[in-house]
Structure 1
């Protein structure tokens, strides 16, 4: 592997494993094309992909590079539509996919108005972004104003697209998909609000056959609505009083493919790489186990000075 990055030094393992890394502006498509063209003089480029769990804009850039060099890759237009959370919501709505109520606000005044219209509590999030950055549950008018000010950089006169969404209450599920095949469905919990930090996860989720079928069917409807179906996708849902509703569709691997590997013996990263380089993947389950993880999150603000042995942890 050869890594192209704006700052390769942020990845310690590159130096530790003596892997080749090239510094290049990864947000500049022309610069990436020039660098790949230079590499293609020395090597046959087998495939191009982004980091697992990286933000969707990387996947869109990868798709454009793959098209330029005639390599297997995702459709960048479909990926870019998913990157814009409001556009994604509109396309899903046109396909009658159940979702929380939502509005797109351009400024602080519209955020306040739409929050009242949708009904508190609401979730505020940037219309473009990833990794739950800037996503917060606002339970009253004061929290709405405070977080809006944060998203606008402290300037209420600024104009920046903010999604105002109904807080869909109920158990959280994540569907892991490769191509058009549902590999598994995991269940997860969050730390206490207002932020959505994952606390624990179990794969497969403890679902009845009917619940599993409904979530899987809804997930595949999302793929069709968004014209996805190449490579990995993970879809986040909540099971509400209305049944499953879609929170977000991410056209990439999730940040935790290890759970799927432990549960089913399917290494999603390796199978993705096979697809990227034009090989045939194998999504057959090797076994059927239950995998679970838990993050130890602090219950107060502070600075961690030391940990005295794993027994206490």
Structure 2
């Protein structure tokens, strides 16, 4: 009998890629990763996963490769854990007549300016925004909106190049960073300048047209937006939960989404829930584990079921509160040591303790998700109990970073 294969276009370094591979295997599928640089994903070699080196920006090359694989395998589905190639995945699915996302909707959603325009046309509450192509336009856009503003690339994810600019000096500095070659542009240089929406942060995890749940999160100190803690589900009243759900469904309609996973980020302002960003994919970090611990729903497994044309099951099995504390370095330097993971993992209620860095590694903070050095995840029947468990565990973890010596 021909083996059923799941094609994964690119992987993911922070956990999600390996989780897709493992979920595929648990469904009896043979995962094959197509990647421009397979060695960047440690888990492929460690788990003995089939990987093929190929230019994943070249749709024709991908079609040829998948066609050749069909001679050996029954290709059950094609998907990805990476937003950057998700529109390409949609195009491949259309070519091979497989279930997949609408590539046009994904492309429009991944362009944050186009996304803003479509949401604004549909009457979805969003921050004031302007598109800028150079430093002069960034300056005039910020003056029109009023400082502080968020300045970020119009295309990208993982908080790459996103910064809160509180005065003209910060604005000029970050504009120079984005335009001066320090930031790697995926497409042409286009900068989004946005009003800073004040208020608690929430994000909705959606599969198809169903809101699975809403998480609350907070950040470390500005000017960057590094997650410090995420709790699932968020402690919301029924009315507030319904308001976020209603706005979420309006976003799906406005952007032509509603197939597979979507993650929508909000700030709760004086106007109520204001949409910060719509991501046509699962949330990163430990979100999948939080949903699984809280409700017993494995979003990655259910996504793959949809991809291979099987019926998914999004029913909640139980109701707990799960939370993740992100460990972020507070200065640059060389990591001398990091320990306490086994002590923290032994705390009752702790589900996972993970370090992403090894001793002697250089720590160079970039102001985005790459600054994480680890996380702790815990779950219990209540938020207060989960918070207490997390705090006990985090207090047992310690590390030392020696600042780099500068030769003046």
Give the TM-score band, short-chain normalised. over 0.9
Query: Which residue in 2 is equivalent to 1:263?
Result: 294
1:181 is the counterpart of 2:210: yes
1:294 aligned partner: 325
In 1, Cα distance between equivalents of 2:63 and 2:300: 24
- Identify the residue that residue 112 of structure 1 maps to in structure 2: 139
Distance 1:312 1:225 in 2: 45
Residue 249 of structure 1 aligns with which residue?
A: 278
SS at match of 1:160: coil
2:76 is the alignment partner of 1:41: no
2:44 match: 14
- 252 and 274 in structure 1: CA distance in 2 versus 1, 3 angstrom threshold: same
Number of the residue aligned with 1:58: 85
Which one has a larger percent strand, Structure 1 or Structure 2? 2
Structure 1 partner of 2:35? 5
**What secondary structure, in the 3-state scheme, does the structure 2 residue paired with 1:305 have?**
strand
Alignment gaps of 5+ in structure 1? none
Q: Which runs of 5+ in 2 are unaligned?
A: 1-30, 183-187, 342-395, 399-408
Tell me whether 1:165 sits opposite 2:194 in the alignment: yes
- Report which stretch shifted further, 96-105 or 289-298: 289-298
Aligned-partner SS, 1:45: strand
Partner Cα separation in structure 1 for residue 55 and residue 180 of structure 2: 25
**291-300 vs 197-206, which deviates more?**
291-300
State how far apart, in whole Å, the 2-side matches of 1:11 and 1:308 are: 24
Instruction: Report the alpha carbon displacement of residue 308 of structure 1 after superposing the two structures with TM.
Output: 4.1
Q: Which residue pairs with 2:307 in the alignment?
A: 276
Shift of 1:153: 2.1
Q: Which residue of 1 aligns with 2:172?
A: 145
Choose 2-11 or 301-310, whichever is displaced more: 301-310
Paired with 1:85 and 1:172, the residues of 2 have a C-alpha distance of 19
Given the alignment of the two structures, is residue 309 of structure 1 paired with residue 336 of structure 2, yes or no? no
Alignment length (residue pairs): 308
Q: Measure, in 2, the Cα distance between the counterparts of 1:203 and 1:246.
A: 19
Segment of structure 1 superposing worse, 11-20 or 141-150: 11-20
Tell me which residue corresponds to 2:100.
73
Q: Does the residue aligned with 1:27 lie in a helix, a strand or coil?
A: coil
* Counterparts of 1:253 and 1:240, CA distance in 2: 24
Q: Which has the higher contact order (CA 8 A, sep 6+)?
A: 1
Question: Secondary structure at the residue paired with 1:258?
Answer: helix
Give the superposition deviation at 1:12: 1.4
1:28 paired with 2:58, answer: yes
CA distance in 1 between partners of 2:109 and 2:310 (Å): 26
SS of equivalent to 1:260: helix
Cα deviation, residue 154, structure 1: 5.2
Deviation readout 1:196-245 (Å, 9 max, x if unpaired): 11110000001111110100110000000011100000000000111110
Query: Residues 140 and 225 of structure 1: is their aligned pair in 2 closer, same or farther, counting only changes over 3 Å?
Result: same
With normalisation by structure 1, the TM-score equals 0.96
RMSD: 1.4
Q: Paired residue for 1:239? A: 268
User: SS of 1:124's equivalent?
Assistant: strand
TM-score (normalizing by structure 2): 0.74
Deviation at 1:302, TM superposition (A): 2.7
Partner of 1:285 in structure 2? 316
Aligned with 2:282: secondary structure?
Answer: coil
Name which of 152, 159, 175 aligns with 1:125. 152
